[in-house]
Amino acid sequence: MRTFQFLRSMLESAALSVLRWTLFLLPRGGVFLFGRSVGWFVFHVLRLKRGVTLSNLEQAFGTAYSPQQRQRIAARCYLHFGALFAEFLVLPRLSGSDLDACFELENPEVLDDALGKGRGILMASGHLGNWELLGGALARRGYPFTMYVGQQRNLKADALVNWIRRRMGVGTVSKGWGAMRSMMRVLKDNHLLGMLSDQHFSRNRHFVRFFGHLISAAPGLGSLSNHLNPELVFAETYQVAPFQYRARFFPFRLPAPSGSDEYDLLAVTQKFMALLEAAVRRHPEQYFWMHRTWRQPPAPSALSPVNREFLAGRPPPYASEPMGESPPSEPGSDGK
C-alpha cells in the first residue's frame, strides 16, 4: 500500500509539473481556455463528483431551478474551477502591476476602518470566486495577509501551492499545535488572518444552517472570535472576466455575548454562513459544489443542549459553561 501511495504521489507531482510548464508557454487567454477545457472534460467525460455537485445544487436551491438549469450551473462551475486551477499555476509569472490589474477591491475602506481598531482582522471566506488571488491582491495593496491552511495529501503539491502563495506575498499558518500561537501573533500585529470555514467538519460537534439544512461547521472561526476578539470581516470574491476578479467586504455585526461560549461560537458561525449563502446565491456557478457539503445530520438528542437551543432560536440553557478545550488547532480547512 505504501509503495502504491508513493508511486501515485510521484506520478501526480510529475503530471502537475508538466502541466505547469505547459501553461507557462501559453498566452494568458490560452491559459484560461485550457483550464475551461479541462473543466469541460472532467464534467462531461470523466464525470468526477458530478453526482455530488448536482445533488448539492438540488438541496441548496430545490425547485428554484429546474433540473436543466441546475445542470447548466454545474457545468459552468466545472469550467470556472478548471480555469481557476490553471490561472493559479501561472500566477508566479505575473508582475506586480499585472497582479494588481487582476483584482479590484470594491470597498477597501471596510478594511481600513477595521484595522483602525487595532485588533487585527479575522477575514472569513468560502470556496467562492478566487480566494487565493484575493490574498495576493491584498498583500500587494499593503494589507499584510496570512492564510490558515491545511496540508495537501501530496506533499510536493502542497509545497508548490505554498510557494505560489509566498510569491504573491501571502503568509501561511499550517494546521498543527503551533497554529494558535501563530494566528494570535498575526492578529496582535494588527494584520489580516484569512480562514475558509465553509466545508463539512468531520468531528460533528457544532451544527448551523446553510441553505436551510444543517451543516457540521468548523469551530475555529467562532472560537477565535470568542477568545481573541478581532474585527470580523466576510470577503466575497467573484470573477467578472478571464483573469479579472472583484472582492467586496462585509463587517460582521454580532449580538452582545450571551454568557455561553458555545452559543456565541455558533452565532459567529451562523452569521458567516448567512453571508456566504447570500454571496453564493449571487454567483452559484463560482462556488465549489464538488464537496459533500451536507451529511446525514445527527438526531436532536445527539446535539449538545446549547446547540439544540441555538437552532431553535432560544437563549442558551445555561451560561458560562466550560468549553472543555482551548481554541482548536484545526479551526478550518483551505479545501485544497
* Domain segments of the chain as ranges: 103-282
What would the pLDDT profile of 263-321 be if each residue is shown by its tens digit?
999 999 999 999 999 999 999 999 999 999 898 888 889 899 999 999 999 999 876 54
Q: What separation, in Å, do the N-terminal and C-terminal C-alpha atoms of the chain show?
A: 23
Q: What is the pLDDT of residue 18?
A: 87
Q: Where are the alpha helices (DSSP H) in 25-65?
A: 28-41, 50-61
Q: Is 38 helix (H, G, I), strand (E, B) or coil?
A: helix
Q: What is the pLDDT of residue 310?
A: 96
Q: What is the pLDDT of residue 100?
A: 85
Q: What is the pLDDT of residue 334?
A: 44
Q: What is the pLDDT of residue 324?
A: 39
Cell numbers for 195, please give them: 480562514
Q: Where are the alpha helices (DSSP H) in the chain?
A: 2-24, 28-41, 50-61, 67-89, 96-102, 109-115, 131-140, 155-167, 179-188, 220-228, 261-282, 305-311
Radius of gyration of the chain (CA): 20
Q: What is the pLDDT of residue 254?
A: 81
Contacts with 223 (C-beta within 8 Å, 6 or more apart), sequence order:
265, 323, 327, 328, 331
Q: What is the pLDDT of residue 64?
A: 96
Between CA 285 and CA 296, with CA 291 as vertex, the angle to 5 degrees is 120
**What is the bridge-based pairing of β-strands 207-210 and 192-196?**
unpaired
Q: How far apart are CA 194 and CA 135, in angstroms?
A: 8
Task: Return averaged pLDDT per consecutive 10 residues of the chain, 336 residues in all.
Answer: 70 84 92 96 97 97 97 98 95 80 95 97 97 93 94 84 92 88 95 93 86 93 92 97 94 88 95 97 98 89 94 85 44 44
